[in-house]
A = this chain, B = another copy of it.
Amino acid sequence: MKADLVIRAATPADFDAIWPIFHQVVAAGDTYAYAPDTPRAEAERLWMSLPLKTFVAELAGQVVGTYYLKANQVGLGDHVANAGYMVAQAARGNGVASAMCVHSLDTARALGFTAMQFNFVVGTNQGAIRLWERHGFQIVGRLPDAYRHAQLGKVPALVMYRFL
């Protein structure tokens, strides 16, 4: 992790910087279920309004990554957190995703969550799978053909889980 990486709570104004990252990531159609042409207003709802909290990662004062945190289920399942992470293409290789993951685990723990679940890790996204495994996640589920990958067609999605 770069020494000058700062992770902080996102403000509504941060969406100007989050949107190009969101759009770049989902347009690729290889990691998130969100439609590749998700409009900005819908992205704002999904990333800023629906989650419990949203954060940004800044490198040298510039927003290069973002993540959301929320309960993965309502009611009797709301002790398990869920998070999603995005990093700008140009900023990859700086440990931003890893730093956000650590931050999200700490934040979830502080909020009283006792586990974290990823519902839909694209099975071909080996970099992410290895990263989450290094951060203590295990593959607890495999969903055959559950993701329509832009280049590869239907590929599996994985469910990953760890206690906090």
Contacts and interface: CB of A to CB of B under 8 A. Distances in A.
Interface size class of A (residues with CB under 8 A): 35 or more
Nearest to A35: B75
Interface of A is mostly: strand
A77 B120 contact: yes
A103 interface: no
B29 A76 contact: yes
A150 B77 CA distance: 12
A77 B35 CA distance: 9
A28 to B, nearest CB: 11
Copies of this chain in its oligomeric complex: 2
Given A77-B148, A148-B79, A143 B117 contact: yes
Given A114-B145, A144-B140, A145-B115, A36 B76 contact: yes
A153 to B, nearest CB: 11
A129 to B, nearest CB: 15
Contact of A141 (B33, B80, B159): B159
Interface in A11-32: 26, 29, 32
A35 to B, nearest CB: 4
Contacts of A146: 73, 77, 80, 115, 117, 161
Given A141-B142, A159-B159, A147 B76 contact: yes
Interface of A: 26, 29, 32-36, 38, 73-80, 114-115, 117, 119-120, 140-150, 154, 157, 159, 161, 163
